[in-house]
Amino acid sequence: MLTADDLSAMALIEQGMGVGILNALIASSETFDVARLPLDPPESITMGMAALSFRHASPAVQKFVECVKEMGDL
């Protein structure tokens, strides 16, 4: 999902009015005719999750947390 800010940035880049460093999800959008170049060396960001209680979270939330743990370093 793209936000208005992401769409604005991509539109400005497409019109030759700048450059941007965007995450892979945003940059992979086929909506805009822009060049996409990987960073060298690659960069990453740290994300977190918060809940009042993961122990008492719904089964869907617990499954999501389990999937995230399997995908990366949580």
pLDDT in tens, 37-70: 988 998 887 878 898 998 899 999 999 999 988 8
Q: Are 29 and 1 in a shared domain?
A: yes
Q: Are 49 and 18 in a shared domain?
A: no
Q: Are 49 and 36 in a shared domain?
A: no
Dist CA 36 CA 33 (whole Å):
9
Number of structural domains, the chain? 2
Check residue 42 and give its pLDDT: 86
- Is the pLDDT assigned to residue 13 strictly greater than 80? yes
CA distance readout (Å), 36 to 24, 30, 47, 52, 62: 9, 11, 23, 39, 35
Q: Are 5 and 39 in a shared domain?
A: yes
Q: Are 39 and 56 in a shared domain?
A: no
Check residue 3 and give its pLDDT: 63
Q: Are 8 and 26 in a shared domain?
A: yes
Whether the full predicted model's pTM is greater than 0.85, yes or no, is: no
Check residue 53 and give its pLDDT: 92
Which residues form the domain of 67?
45-74
β strands within 1-74, DSSP E: none
Q: Are 66 and 50 in a shared domain?
A: yes
43-51: which pairs have CB atoms within 8 A and are 24 or more residues apart? 49/74
